[in-house]
């Protein structure tokens, strides 16, 4: 099964709709999981969307160093996906500020059997010289993350403060087991937007939700039909 997920706090549920619509339009994804704080989001999602209420999660305590560091605590839940979704072997995790512009169906076939994930390299953030990925778009090997890597990252997130929580923490302990994707799968100011893109990521771009024409277009579009 080709699965994807988003992690949302209740104040931004509606903002994920354009990204979801673009993903459904430009891929053959079978199921989208939306990690939420509520059983009912108040939004009529199509049948291929499953909401998972993780408000009672035990992975990241409220008094942890990264729970209220300026980023939603939900970003850290991506490190627990292998536990939250125990029946899945891999999943594509996307930020809500992404729009899929071309077909990405082949992305799920990326050969990551021996890698923790696949992602796009981000220059300028690595302090060790090792490659560093941007987590706006990541294909996770959930099966391999269950070898103890997820638990290692969760523990570190609960012990140390990180400016970009799960992104900095995971990149610091990935042991070079990352499959690097072309920048076209996560084109943003931190990666590379010079060669076109299949997925446009509006990272750190104020007003993207209200000002970008393609985003406004998807807000008004109906949900893509599935057979």
Q: What is the CATH number of the domain that holds 46?
A: 3.90.550.10
Measured CA to CA, the distance from residue 195 to residue 178 in angstroms comes to 22
36-75: pLDDT as tens digits? 999 999 999 999 999 999 999 999 999 999 998 877 899 9
24-59: buried (b, 16+ CB within 10 Å) or exposed (e) per residue? bebbebebbbbbbbeeebeeebeeebebeebeebeb
Tokens of 197: 């893109």
Question: Which structural domain, as residue segments, surrounds residue 57?
Answer: 3-220
pLDDT of residue 17: 97
Q: What is the CA radius of gyration of the chain?
A: 16
Task: State the total domains in the chain.
Answer: 1
The string of pLDDT tens digits covering residues 32-45 is 999 999 999 999 99
- Does 198 map to a domain? yes
Q: Residue 95 domain-assigned?
A: yes
Let me know if residue 87 belongs to a domain. Answer: yes
In a domain, 183, yes or no: yes
């Amino acid at each position: 099964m080709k699965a994807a997920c988003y992690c949302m706090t209740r104040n931004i549920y509606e903002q994920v709709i354009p990204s979801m619509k673009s993903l459904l339009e430009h891929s053959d994804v079978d199921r989208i999981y939306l990690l939420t704080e509520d059983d009912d989001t108040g939004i009529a999602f199509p049948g291929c969307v499953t909401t998972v209420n993780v408000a009672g999660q035990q992975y990241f305590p409220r008094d942890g160093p990264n729970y209220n560091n300026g980023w939603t605590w939900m970003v850290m839940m991506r490190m627990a996906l292998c536990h939250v979704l125990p029946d899945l072997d891999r999943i594509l995790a996307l930020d809500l500020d992404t729009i899929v512009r071309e077909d990405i169906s082949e992305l799920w076939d990326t050969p990551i059997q021996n890698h923790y994930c696949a992602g796009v390299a981000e220059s300028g953030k690595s302090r060790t010289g090792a490659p560093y990925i941007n987590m706006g778009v990541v294909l996770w090997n959930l099966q391999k993350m269950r070898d103890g890597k997820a638990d290692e990252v969760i523990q570190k997130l609960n012990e140390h403060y990180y400016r970009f929580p799960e992104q900095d923490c995971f990149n610091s302990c990935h042991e070079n087991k990352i499959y690097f994707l072309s920048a076209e799968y996560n084109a943003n100011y931190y990666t590379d937007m010079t060669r076109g893109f299949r997925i446009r990521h509006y990272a750190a771009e104020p007003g993207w939700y209200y000002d970008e024409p393609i985003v406004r277009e998807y807000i008004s579009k109906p949900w893509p039909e599935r057979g």
